[in-house]
Amino acid sequence: MERLKISLLISLFPLLVLASRADEKSAASGETFGFAFGKEPLVYSVRQRVETKTSLYGPPSYSTGTPYANSRPTSGTKTIADIRYKYRLTGLGNWKGLAIVRYEPFEYEANFDATGAAGHFLTTMHGLSVKSTQNGIVIIDTDKEIGAAQSKAYKNDAIPLLLSGLLNMNDLGQIKGTRGDLPFMDVWQQMEKTQIGLFGFQLPGHPVTNGETWEVIVPMKGAGSIKFDGETLNHTNYFSLVEDAADNDPSVATFKMSAPMHCRDLSASMEERGQNTHADLSDFEIRAFGMIHFDKKRHVFLDADINKTASISMTTLVQGRAVSASTEVNTETEINLLPESGETQPGEAQPQKPVTRKTL
């Protein structure tokens, strides 16, 4: 009997070696990931919180020319924007190797809290309905036809997030074209130049193993109202496949992202109220990091939690006098796939709980 066991082990040894080598080869070759969009709609919730602080260093009165000392800010502003909305993605088939995806945003809401020289402003939005107060006094209430002209700035910022249309997407998550009304196409053609895919995330075009990193470069010609003079900065975003000890689901892949960038002595221009002003940027820095989860079996993006900080120090001319300014923008973005049982049709308001996952 003992001889039979030894004989079986000897006969099975080559098979065990081959299986082990196959596993090693599979691990070495890595996994291949790809996006897929079926006819069943996917509904995502988005929440973005943006805190902006700006300090000006210059004469206390531009007309007097009084010099400033000790680099103390002469004025400053602080704005907190909390934006929330949902969108539905529905696959409509394929065209020339690209998935045709219907994009339908809905349930847009926002809160703004701004403090500056003019006082304290509080603003709320539900769709395109705007209400705002300045130091406790109502200055905008579109439902009551108050401050219609002043509400245009808020509406203009919201409208791009409310447009529906078709997106042509490849299996890496890149947007390769749009179809729809002209405003929708204009908005997304501009977003394609500065945004990584639909989710701020792009898969590699090759198999990857745990710990492997790939790069996605985003060309930057400016930042907000600031346009760089004659040069384009390349912002490199790093993505890597990692093991998530907090998640035991083998069907879920975890990706880590980081996107540092630091530049000095840039020449730029700013457009404010229809006028272009030259600016010297002594320091420009971006720091971003986050975690992304992806369903390997369904080929579906699950969620992302990304934090980004941008800081700018610059000098410009205001009414012929030099003024220095520093701005810091902190952005927190959360995207979550909502459960199928909680889906709502555009325009409906039903309670939905996001599918949240623990991250590293």
pLDDT digits (tens, 9 = 90+) for 206-229: 999 999 999 999 999 888 888 899
| pTM, to two decimals | 0.81
Q: Would residue 293 count as lying in a domain?
A: yes
Region of 176 (left: φ > 0; alpha: ψ -120 to 50; beta: rest) is alpha
Contact partners, residue 256, CB within 8 Å, separation at least 6? 239, 240, 242, 289, 290, 291, 292, 360
Tokens at 358, concatenated: 């623990």
Residues 249 and 283 in one domain: yes
Q: Would residue 31 count as lying in a domain?
A: no
Q: Which domain holds residue 218?
A: 199-341+353-360
Res 358 pLDDT > 50: no
Cβ–Cβ under 8 Å, residues 342 and 360: no
Count structural domains, the chain: 2
Cβ–Cβ under 8 Å, residues 138 and 130: no
Percent of the chain residues topping a pLDDT of 70 = 80
Residues 152 and 221 in one domain: no
| Residue 66 φ then ψ, to 5° | -65, 125
The β-bridge partners of 77 are 54
**pLDDT given for residue 338 in this prediction:** 94
Q: Would residue 22 count as lying in a domain?
A: no
Q: Would residue 2 count as lying in a domain?
A: no
| Residue 141 φ then ψ, to 5° | -155, 90
Q: Would residue 145 count as lying in a domain?
A: yes
Query: Pick from 182, 183, 216: which is nearest to 199 by CA?
Result: 216
Domain boundary among 198, 216, 248: 198
* Residue with the larger pLDDT of the pair 21 and 189: 189
pLDDT digits (tens, 9 = 90+) for 272-301: 766 788 899 999 999 999 999 999 999 999
pLDDT digits (tens, 9 = 90+) for 340-356: 633 444 444 443 344 44
Euclidean distance between CA atoms 337 and 16, whole angstroms:
42
Cβ–Cβ under 8 Å, residues 109 and 128: no
Residues 209 and 139 in one domain: no
